[in-house]
Amino acid sequence: MSVFQYVSDEASLNALVAQYQQSQLLVLDTEFVRTRTYYAKLGLIQAYDGKTLALIDPVAVPNLASFWALLTNPNIIKLVHSCSEDLEVFAHYGNCQPTPLFDSQIAASICGMGHGVGYAKLVETCLGEVIDKGESRTDWMRRPLTDAQLNYAANDVLYLYQLYPQLETKLVEQNRLNWLYEEGERMTVGRLETPDLDTAYLRVKNAFQLTEVQLAYLKVLAKWRLEKALARDLALGFVIKDHGLIALAKKQPKSMGELLKLNDLTEQEKRIHGKDILKVMQGADLVNLPEVVDVIALKPGYKSAFKAIKTCLTEICEQHTVPMEMLGSKRHIHEYLQWRWNKGQGELPTVLTGWRAQLAGEALAQLEL
């Protein structure tokens, strides 16, 4: 059972933050609920500096300004595990991103302990402790939180603090600590930007199937859906699902009668949004049409080019004992191939930046694609 301080008023929070500002290492975790909402509902923040393990209640203390200021203090290492969802929470509620960032899951991957290792597995491997994950699916917005919930939450930062020296030592021995911080920086890029309404259509599943005219309709529909989702804090699928938007863009109903015949929309979607949808579709710009979505996998020569890049990166991964997922994921390969086929125009692909460029840049440049 962990010893922790439960922080439920602003004075206690400010005193805690004053202490944390003096520390060199701060472990962070969050507990949240995301069911129907666009943004996760923040239920609890866990923090530990090796002296005081605190469970901060954001429901009881809505003003967390002093805590958010901690996260950007460059003198404190922020230690997290598999933090992409935590970063979303920090961006939305604190309008900030932690720096410098040390993610223990990425650290384990870089120093050869396996890719995507879960927290409980890492704790068991390094510390021999078995963690009870019984409260992982729980309602963190419910008050009061149970003792079991609080202990579960506290353990998420308690053992992470103890893991740090082992992971840091391994990274230093392999001369890869700078890789770890580079990854931390890369993960936080762009997270404070507001969602782009005009490019929302590019993130709709199967948008590549549509013609330019159909895409013009999808563009206004996806923008409208995102605006609706943000205004009502609803997950996109709870406004209208992707396949519903695709069907509307393909069939372009001009009247309520035509719209009601569409099987791809639920009766609820038709009833609540029908009139809005017809109005939005009338605003489609059919003069300045969007370009057809470019799918690299459909281009001639894709298979052989993909295979050549993958083979090259696999050899480098084996030589340097780096997981393929870190150096040459499918997304990384696609990014690089697109860049090569665009004759090096545009932003450098990830695989040609930082430590990845040092490992793979020369070998990739020699490939004939």
Rounded Cα distance between 91 and 86, Å, is 9
Question: Is 285 an annotated catalytic residue?
Answer: no
Co-location of 309 and 270 in the same domain: no
Find out whether 149 and 136 touch, Cβ atoms under 8 Å.
no
Domain boundary among 282, 311, 332: 282
pLDDT at 297: 85
Question: Is 198 an annotated catalytic residue?
Answer: no
Q: How far is CA 331 from CA 75, 89, 92, 200, 350, in A?
A: 33, 25, 26, 19, 9
Rounded Cα distance between 120 and 228, Å, is 38
Q: Exactly one of 20, 38, 49, 86 is catalytic; name it.
A: 86
Per-residue buried b or exposed e for 164-192, using 16+ beta carbons within 10 Å of the residue's own CB: bebbbebbeeeebbebbbebbeebbeeee
Within a domain: 307? yes
pLDDT at 295: 87
pLDDT at 134: 66
Co-location of 47 and 137 in the same domain: yes
Co-location of 153 and 126 in the same domain: yes
Query: Is pLDDT of 220 > 90?
Result: yes
Query: Is pLDDT of 6 > 90?
Result: yes
Within a domain: 251? yes
Co-location of 166 and 307 in the same domain: no
User: What CATH number corresponds to the domain at position 261?
Assistant: 1.10.150.80
Co-location of 159 and 32 in the same domain: yes
The domain of 26 spans 5-188
Co-location of 184 and 319 in the same domain: no
Kindly report, residue by residue over 20-33, the tens digit of the pLDDT: 999 999 999 999 99
Mean pLDDT of the chain: 95
Looking at the structure of the chain, the number of domains it has is 3
Q: Exactly one of 49, 135, 156, 168 is catalytic; name it.
A: 156
Q: Exactly one of 48, 93, 119, 152 is catalytic; name it.
A: 152
Co-location of 40 and 142 in the same domain: yes
Co-location of 52 and 160 in the same domain: yes
Co-location of 166 and 275 in the same domain: no
Within a domain: 35? yes
Question: Is 86 an annotated catalytic residue?
Answer: yes
pLDDT at 131: 85
Co-location of 47 and 184 in the same domain: yes
Question: Is 156 an annotated catalytic residue?
Answer: yes
Co-location of 260 and 336 in the same domain: no
Kindly report, residue by residue over 224-244, the tens digit of the pLDDT: 999 999 999 999 999 999 999
Q: Tell me the CA end-to-end span of the chain in Å, nearest whole number.
A: 58
Question: Is 29 an annotated catalytic residue?
Answer: yes
Query: Is pLDDT of 173 > 70?
Result: yes
43-59: average pLDDT: 97
